[in-house]
Structure 1
Amino acid sequence: MPTQIKYFIAQFLLICCFFGSAQTNELSENNQMNDSIESYLMNASQSIDQTRLEPALSNIINAKELALQQQNKTYIAKTNMVLAKLYRELGDLKKAEEQILDAIAFQKETNDEFMLVSSYRIYGSIATKLGKFKTALKSLQDALIIAKKNDYKNQEGPIKLNLGLLALAQEKPKLAIQHFNSGLPIINSFDQYYFKAKLYTNKARAQLSINQPDEAMKTNDLAMQIGEDMGYAEIQSECFELYSQIYERKEDYPASLKNLRAHEKIKDALFNTNKEIIAQEAGAKLNLNENNVLIEELTEENIQQQRSLKLGRLTTILSIALITILSLLTLSLYKNNNLRARANELLQNKNTELILAKENAERASEAKVQFLSTITHELRTPLYAVTGLTHLLLEESPTPNQKEHLNSLKFSGEYLLSLINNILDLNKLEANKVELENTSFNLKKRINDVLIALGKSAKDRNNNLHYEFDESIPAKLKGDPLKVSQVLINLIGNSIKFTQNGDIWIRVKPVNRIDNKVSLSFEIEDNGVGISEKKQLSIFENFTQGSVQINRKFGGTGLGLSIVKNLLSLMDSEIKLESELGKGSKFLFDLKFEVFEDKSTNYAEEAKKIDYSIMVDKHILVVEDNKINQLITRKILEKNEIKCDVADNGDIAVNKTKENTFDLILMDIHMPGISGIEATKQIRKFNKEIPIIALTAVTLDDNLDEFYDNGFNDIIPKPYKTEEFFTKLHKALVKKQATA
């Protein structure tokens, strides 16, 4: 009897080996088919980018046949996704939409978030061409959410490119340029040449639409270079078309016609000859292949059933041996099930903990946003006292030494205000919602002020500052001086911090000048501790420093270089780093400025023209809840022989206006009781003539209509510059006097 059992077991093991071998072969075949599908789809996608539509179609057909044979939903969806791109290039947007929606449905079912990001992005581009702007925006936003959640960084650049294309289709060129500038660094970092070329052509189109033909020409040159290097015929065609439009805008009609002909020549070669044939062939082949593959699948199933019957006869002989062995396995399965149940319970508990942690994190994030919003006013109010008192001290005939210190204090106060704004709005900065100012300034003096402000820090660490400024650089430039200062203070301050008994060089040189645009190169070099090659890859991320030891030794938040990177990206530039551990570091970047031609209001000049006699004995009501700010404003006004009355809140201001006659009201916005806006609305019910100027520390966004709609005549942001303060007061009083 034992011998017979051994015989049965031996037969059973032989069958197991047979089954195992068959399954191994089947698995190997499936892997080979999967590799083939991937290869076909990759070749198809590259062919579409290069506008070689016939090989693209051939590869898609081969991939779809294999995917249908396997009935693999992942690859069917991926094939549909690439096919949607082909239909989009052929101009059949309805079929493109059908295919991409099929792909999205498959990917949602299989929870394939990696491919779902690409599908949402492609659907966004198709919906944009169909004019379904809301659908396009939702699809692209969903793609961005999934990409950020899973850290699919290489997908973010193409998504922002498509957001720019959507904005361009909606005739919002400035928004489009913001999206393009935001996506360019990401696309650059992954060498996504096709997307980079598309970005440059469409950015040039946006620049042309806001009447910047010279900038559009430069951007289009970059796109054409990529198109020629990579063999993107479609990109070259679009570039020639844009050249034609640019030259037409410049009234160079021969050059415009020449480029238009080049565009038409490539366009005809790409599409007119083969488009209809390819479209018909795509419809016929793809539909037929699906049916044929299904028939082949049924035939294959019949063959498999016959094999199963043969194997069934053989396994029947061994049923007794199988029952014996399966009985032994039952106990093992029972134990495994118990273990699995306990593991599932543990996983469920962990999942519940993770959900609670996620909800807590979201609540913490909301609390942080609310906190930052509330603290903005509280931080700016004491800054008003700093800048106001500095101004008063500067007017009281200080000694040259004191004047230098007071000027340094004034500059530091302005910089601190800018720094607070940028730190509080760091998320806003990274989301590209911060806008650049465009005012005139003296770059050489601005950098000199930075060096004076940082001079004490350098001296304390026994460092020498070397300032090399090319004198051929124009004296007055147009740009954002505070953001330039913030970049330089962060970089120079960083060098001072990590250098002891050393030297720091600040170099500014011209790169080129075209018409009234000048490009400058900036270098900040030190011979300090340096940065290792490994840390150079992450040094520009938020809250990052070289190491824990560096943080403990030198302190700091690790935000400086992150803010620099974001600010330079906002100014259409990027930071470069050259460093060697123990030998120092060099930071390099280029910035473009407009050479300033003074046509705008210059408050400093306007203040010199003011007839201060008009303001003598005028009666002004200052509505301000902060006692220090009351004192400073009152002193500034009374020094110019202006009578001044004070109200601590909005209610008192309304009552005083009813009982007294004032020539002007300076109204704070955030106060206890009713706000400055509400107080103004109440005053306007019984007095519509008196000028009311908002004197406020809140952030002024693009839309100032709320202030004017509620009865304000003008706005002075705090901390204010005295020249602007008196210019606006003078303007309001003169206007009131003329009306009277």
Structure 2
Amino acid sequence: MIFASMLHFRRSALTQRMTINTKKSASRYGLIVILLLALFISAIFFYTRNNRIHLLSENVNQLNSIESDYSQLDTCVLLLYRADNNCRLFEATGNNAYMKLFSSEIGRVSKILDTLQFRESTTTYSKNVKGLVSQKKAKMQVYLKLKQLTDSLFLINANIDTLKQRTFTKGMEITQGRFKTMVVIDTIKPKVDVKEKGLFGRIADAFSRKKGKVDTNAVLVKKEITLDTSLSSKNYNKMQIKNINTYFRNLYAANKILKDNEIGILRINSRIINEIVFLLQNFKTSELAFASQTKKSIQYDLDNTFKSIDKIYFVIFGLLFVLVAIILFNLWKIYRNESQLIDYGHRISQYAQSKSRFLANMSHEIRTPLNSVIGFSEQLSQENLSSQQKEQVEAIKTSSELLLDLVNDILDFSKYEVGKINFDKVAFAPADAINEVLNSIAIQASRKGIKLEKEISFNEGLTIIGDSLRLKQLIMNLLSNAIKFTDKGSVTLKADVIAVSKKIGTLKIQVIDTGVGIEDKDAAVIFDEFSQVNYSTTKNTQKGTGLGLAICKRIVELQKGKIGLTSVVGKGSNFTFEIPYELCDDVASKQKSLAITNVGHLAGKRILLVDDNKMNVLLAQTVIKKYNVITDTAYDGSEAFQLFTKNNYDLILTDVQMPIMGGVELTRMIRADKDTIKSKVPVLGVTANVLEEDRDRYLAAGMNDLVLKPYSEKELIAKIVSYIIA
């Protein structure tokens, strides 16, 4: 008990340190997650801030560019107006100074459009406008040339002196007589006095379209007049030329007047344009001044804003630096803690292995003498002894069994703790296992005067596949615990199999007692290792390691089952567990049960016993000779192999750990023998080592099966019969 407590204390200390480190690591992981989240949010903030600032700068620059473009477009419009006005002045006056101004202003417009085209390279508006300006300039030049030619014609024609005497060939003057008779008819009407009407009367007559009555009594007078129309051709030509000259002079004079008026209008237009330009320039200057002031104010505000943001940026950058430092520090701490956890894990693993090895060695050292004590006490109990001798032998047997139970509990818990446990998959009848446990524990119940009852609700011929030894261990622990804490009344075992499917059934076992019961606070920890409940109402001091129920819980959970407890203080407790098993045919179980009934076939068989402990050899001989079996003995593996080569044996029963040559080496030499028939002889290993990996190693060496020390007569004979008869 002291040894178990020391193991528990050391393991609890290591577990506590690992738990503390795990909690610290978990909190540090949480802190790192928060810091990384803050770092991520800060990165998003900086990225958004830079994008916003860049976008804001682009917008300000674009506004300035648009404002400049608008100003340039205004200048283009004014220049086009001026160019058009200068073109008209040149048209009217013919002064080349206006033409130079026109060309200069068109050139300035082209340069401005080139600048706009360079800025807006992705658009075609400025290209189209520039083309139109070029076309306007070319067509205006063509128009001005044509206008100059037309004016020249007018001027040349005006300078022709049609009155100047020129030398002509004097021709014959021809006079042609022409007489024309004209008839003139006159109508003579008498004068009628018409009364004058007022304004409204005339308006009324006009709308009514009434005509006043007029006296139509008129007198017609007819006259005939004869005229001489003969003219001289010379006089006629002079008259025609004079008329033409007069027409052109009048036309030139009218054109000159028109030009003078046009020049006046154009000059007035020029003054108006200049005045408008002056007003627009003043307005533009004031607007630019206001815009410049506004831009300066905006720029000032932006600069202040950016400075504030930069200050915040530096502060946040400092915080981020601190956060990064904290993250790195926590990562280092986590790395160190994980290294410590790994180191603790290695240490715990080494400790568990050392503990398992120590317990295995302790088991071997304790089980070996226990094997002799229990075996010989069993053989003595079968002799004709006095009642006093029987009591003494029974006391020896009971004490040795209690010591064996203590060792088994510690070893089993150690195996369950490290997970080094395998469950057999063999067919067995659960009813037989239950009855076997009840029969073996009935003596304890009868000693305390407790009634032991059973209620099996399923067919007792039912066979399942699983580990029957672990099931027996479960039931034995629960029944022993119930009998221990029950002073009067009964202990009842209820068993039932609930079909889950066609191949799976759940075995449900209930152990109900009428004992002292368990309080709720103790029920919460009753399945913990080394846990014992102190009862103030009972006088008996509890004995044991406090591992029984903890082992039960591990056995159930490792088989995917569940275990529970309901209890009422003063009325009793109800322990219940459920384990799923695979259902099967009951033939295999029956075949297994036939092994112990064929002991009569052992007579005359020859067995080689190998063990370095003479007490163990004597015990085995005592048990086997009862069945008329011939035995040979050897005290090490080398001696046993010499006997093997000389004789033929039906079975070899050998200890595993021996000096000179152990049982494993002996088995390998037997399996490697040249005689193939002798090399197949069954070999049973006898060992006190309960570690699963060691058992596997022994079987891998060629042993057919193992007999665990201490063994009973029944167990040993069952193993021997199963291999010799087969």
After TM superposition, the score normalised by the length of structure 1 is 0.45
| Structure of greater relative contact order (alpha carbons < 8 Å, 6+ residues apart) | 2
Compare CA radii of gyration and give the structure with the larger one. 2
After TM superposition, the score normalised by the length of structure 2 is 0.46
